[in-house]
């Protein structure tokens, strides 16, 4: 039987919990700054990982793949952690690592078994030298060559759409916090902001613009695949 918490379901579960937490818990300026800093780092890791990856043909060892073996999963970890911080729920942030390995563990074992069968000695050496998901002290020696092998042509419309959606979700959590603080009057403030209270309007506009951009980019990606 397929396990309940799979890699594809994890973010949905995290977002539901984050939205529920944002309705109940306040958030401070420091948490907002940390949350969006993590979101920016996670999105950057996502782009760099995709820009270097050559799927199924070669063993990626250069650039960020010399930093950790699964930088794309590291980017997902950082992005989801950013959502947990923006939810204002520290307990959710502390629980997330267990959810991550529950969902991603089987996928990583399957992928590494495949890479081991395809690349044998090369993968055995790579896995002994490079940590799986989280960087170690020795990993930071690769910082200067983090972008080695990066090609912008590997960044598809789909990846750009995902980044826009990640950002829209971050601002959506802030919008929930604002609406929780202002109550029903906050919904009216979205439509008719005052010079003293325009946060709801700003966050709502960013959510709509970024989420709309993600829809356009993802639909363009589908057209490119089918054409």
In degrees rounded to 5, what are phi and psi of residue 80? Answer: -65, -35
CA–CA dist 75, 45 (Å, integer): 5
CA–CA dist 226, 193 (Å, integer): 43
Taking the whole predicted model, whether its pTM rises above 0.85 is answered as yes
Torsion over CA: 167, 170, 174, 179 (sign): positive
Residue ranges of domains in the chain: 1-151, 156-227
pLDDT tens, per residue, the chain with 227 residues = 566 788 888 999 999 999 999 999 889 999 999 999 999 999 999 999 999 887 767 788 888 998 899 999 999 999 999 999 999 999 999 999 999 999 998 889 888 898 888 888 888 898 888 899 998 887 777 778 888 888 888 888 889 999 999 999 999 999 999 888 776 665 556 666 666 667 778 888 899 999 999 999 988 877 665 55
Decide if domain 1-151 falls under CATH 1.20.120. yes
Distance of CA 78 to the CA centre of its chain: 6
């Amino acid at each position: 039987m397929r396990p309940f918490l799979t890699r594809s379901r994890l973010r949905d579960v995290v977002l539901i919990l984050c939205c529920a937490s944002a309705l109940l818990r306040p958030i401070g300026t420091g948490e907002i700054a940390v949350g969006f800093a993590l979101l920016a780092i996670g999105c950057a890791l996502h782009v760099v990982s995709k820009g270097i990856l050559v799927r199924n043909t070669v063993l990626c060892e250069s650039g960020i793949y010399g930093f950790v073996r699964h930088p794309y999963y590291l980017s997902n970890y950082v992005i989801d952690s950013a959502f947990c911080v923006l939810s204002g729920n520290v307990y959710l942030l502390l629980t997330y690592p267990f959810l991550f390995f529950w969902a991603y563990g089987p996928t990583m074992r399957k992928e590494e078994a495949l890479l081991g069968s395809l690349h044998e000695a090369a993968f055995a050496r790579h896995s002994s030298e490079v940590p799986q998901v989280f960087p170690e002290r020795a990993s930071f020696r690769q910082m200067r060559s983090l972008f080695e092998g990066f090609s912008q042509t590997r960044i598809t419309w789909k990846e750009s759409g995902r980044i826009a959606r990640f950002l829209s979700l971050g601002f959506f959590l802030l919008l929930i916090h604002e609406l929780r603080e202002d109550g029903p009057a906050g919904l009216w403030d979205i439509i008719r902001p005052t010079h003293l209270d325009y946060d709801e309007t700003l966050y709502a506009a960013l959510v709509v613009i970024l989420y709309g951009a993600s829809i356009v980019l993802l639909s363009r990606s589908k057209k490119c695949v089918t054409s």
